[in-house]
Amino acid sequence: MPSDKKLLILHVTSEVVPYSKTGGLADVLNGLPKAQATLGHKVYVVSPLYDAVDRARHGIKKLGKSVSVTLGGRSFDFQISKADMGDGATALFLRNDDLFGRPQLYGNGNQDYEDNHIRFGSFSAAIFELVRELGLAPDIIHCHDWQTGLVPAFNRLNSLNVAPTVTTIHNLAYQGQFPADVLPELGISWDVFNPEGLEFYGRVNFLKAGIVWSNKITTVSPNYAQEVLRPEFGAGLDGVLRAKGGNFTGILNGADYSIWDPRNDPYIASSYGPDDLSGKQKCREHLLEKVGLKGVIGPIFGVVGRFASQKGFDLIAQVIPSIVAQGGIVVVLGSGEESIQKAMSVVADAFPNRVALKIGYDEELAHQIEAGSDFFLMPSRYEPCGLNQIYSLRYGTLPIVHSVGGLKDTVVDLGADPENGTGFVFHSFDAGAFLQAVSNAFGIYNDKPRLLAARLRGMAKDFSWGQSAKAYLQLYRQAMKM
Ligand code: ADP
């Protein structure tokens, strides 16, 4: 096969920007397919049509076609619709309102929907019917996270072999585990309920199914790919991943600079770029006014993220008093776990004149925090790739990160390498080490030439999708030879 043959690539995902999103996964499913389509490949992204998807706004059109699948004796019908994602990529949607016509993607609050195995199991089974109904002949099926783990499983176990499969793990902590007795409901034989198959400590594990039956497995940064081979980061699947040998690799996520670039960001108060940073000052003033801290002086430390223990909000809560004592300002945007929300509210309430906390999901404010802040805090316990620190670099906002996963792959520590540094990297996951990095940030804030040089180095970094899209294509071609 000539290496320049254009491929038909079918991505399967539970969320995709601009239609549905709870995290970085959705961003990837917008950026990667568009970059692949730009390289001349035919790219489809299939996702469920949730209630919250705005059909009219996104030009989603019914195809007047439907597919039906039977799982464990129950039938599920899906209507197919379609939308143009731009750059030549096409979104396809599978609609079944009983399963997906709900307010949230995965559950209410912290409570997952109890039929998630059926929802994503039937969605995965329907992929093969969709391929048949639309007459597609994919060269590769690229699956994302546990929700699509049964696609490679059905492909192999039911001898469908429609195409080689690749599974990308966006976060190994979310595996889609269910009690063993769901197996008959999924129409899967007990023959594969063993450690070599999808059994995991007596439970059914969707992500493990994806890993076991895919031709190639990837995760979203080279460093995280190394880390998860060790028990500390492997979430119980390190052995399964080690067994994959060279078929498991890390490819760094890209950033979509058509959405995240201060030169053309419609959400921010004033455009700016490396040639002229004056707009950043206006973004600062606008941000402070918006969060009720108008006119307050001092460096702004921004935070945007899911309230999950992964993200290190416990460390953030611990260092906030010291940031305030040193004359800093903290602006936090996030939502998620109740306990983190409460803990953050307690610290924010203690310093109403210097700490602003916004609870909720707010795309616009996320952009404004990236633009208006001086530093961005990301002390994650673990971080498969992380996008916010990549966005921070482009916005001239120095990231302060824990040395894990993709954070380590994308931020150069000013402490260790003052000539090339783009942010601050701390190594030990404790408040003392984090605080030291924060104190170093105060140091550079008072040294304007050094601060400007570091900002400009970060802004010049290019983490766009082009490079990573090519790495995936190379991987697909290897999978097609297997
Ligand atoms: P993860 O996927 O683990 O949540 P990433 O850093 O990879 O973390 O991606 C997070 C994405 O979600 C970014 O685009 C970020 O701006 C966005 N995001 C997270 N929380 C919020 C929020 N509360 N409001 C707006 N955007 C958010």
Asked if the structure places residue 2 within a domain, the reply is no
Residue 1 confidence (pLDDT): 52
Please check the confidence at residue 57 and state whether its pLDDT lies above 90.
yes
In this prediction, residue 110 carries a pLDDT of 75
CB 379 within 8 A of CB 434: yes
pLDDT tens across 170-212, in order? 999 999 999 999 999 999 999 999 999 999 999 999 999 999 9
Q: Is residue 271 one of the residues assigned to a domain?
A: no
In Å, what is the CA distance from 474 to each residue of 2, 470, 481? 12, 6, 11
Do 69 and 194 reside in the same domain of the chain?
yes
The verdict on 236 and 362 lying in the same domain is no
**397 within domain boundaries:** yes
Residue 456's Cβ-side half-sphere holds a number of Cα atoms within 13 Å equal to 11
Query: What is the per-residue pLDDT across 359-407, written as a single tens digit (0 to 9) for each?
Result: 999 999 999 999 999 999 999 999 999 999 999 999 999 999 999 999 9
pLDDT over threshold 70, residue 314: yes
Residue 266 belongs to some domain of the structure: no
Residue 263 lies in a domain: no
Question: Is 435 a member of any domain?
Answer: yes
Q: Strand, helix or coil at 380?
A: coil
Q: Verify that 309 and 246 share a domain, yes or no.
A: no
| Model pLDDT, residue 208 | 98
Nearest C-alpha neighbor of 409 from the set 284, 225, 243: 225
Task: Tell me which residue range forms the domain holding 129.
Answer: 8-254+466-480
Q: Closest by alpha carbon to 387, among 199, 257, 204?
A: 257
Q: Are residue 177 and residue 322 in the same domain, yes or no? A: no
Q: Are residues 64 and 137 in the same domain?
A: yes
Is the C-beta atom of 254 inside 6 A of ligand 1? no
Checking if the pLDDT of 109 tops 80, the result is no
Structure tokens at 171: 């976060």
Atom of ligand 1 nearest to the CA of 27: 14
Residue 4, pLDDT score = 77
Q: Are residues 474 and 447 in the same domain?
A: no
Element (H, E) at 459: helix 448-460
Question: Quick one: 314 and 447 in the same domain?
Answer: yes
Residues 6+ apart with CB under 8 A from 417: none
Is residue 349 lining ligand 1, measured as CB closer than 6 Å? no
In the reported structure, the alpha carbon of residue 365 is separated from the centroid of ligand 1 by a whole-number distance in angstroms of 12
Answer yes or no: is 378 within a domain.
Answer: yes
Residues 206 and 154 in one domain: yes
| Spacing, Cα 376 to ligand 1 middle (Å) | 13
* CATH code for position 208: 3.40.50.2000
Residue 193 in domain: yes
Mean pLDDT of the chain: 97
Tell me: do 369 and 431 sit in the same domain.
yes
Q: Which atom of ligand 1 is nearest the CA belonging to 363?
A: 25
- Any bridge partners for residue 75, and if so which? 70
User: Helices in 147-277 by DSSP H: which ranges?
Assistant: 150-157, 206-213, 222-227, 231-234, 238-242
Domains held by the chain: number: 2
How far does the chain reach from its first CA to its final CA, in angstroms? 13
135 and 166 inside one domain? yes
- What confidence category does residue 103 fall into, taking pLDDT thresholds of 50, 70 and 90? confident
Q: Is the CB of 333 under 6 A from ligand 1?
A: yes
> 470 and 337, same structural domain?
no
Separation CA 99–CA 120 (nearest Å): 9
Indicate whether 139 pLDDT > 90: yes
Residue 23 region by backbone torsions, left for phi larger than 0, else alpha for psi between -120 and 50, else beta: beta
Examine the pLDDT at 2 and tell me if it is beyond 70: no
pLDDT at 150: 98
Contacts of 344 (CB under 8 A, 6+ apart): 307, 313, 316, 317, 332, 334, 357, 359
pLDDT digits (tens, 9 = 90+) for 249-286: 999 999 989 889 999 999 999 999 999 999 999 999 99
Ligand 1 atom, smallest distance to 311 CA: 3
- CA dist., res. 262 & res. 377, Å (int): 19
Cα(171) to centroid(ligand 1), Å: 13
pLDDT digits (tens, 9 = 90+) for 154-171: 999 999 999 999 999 999
CB 361 near ligand 1, within 6 Å? yes
Q: Within this chain, do residues 301 and 445 fall inside the same structural domain, yes or no?
A: yes
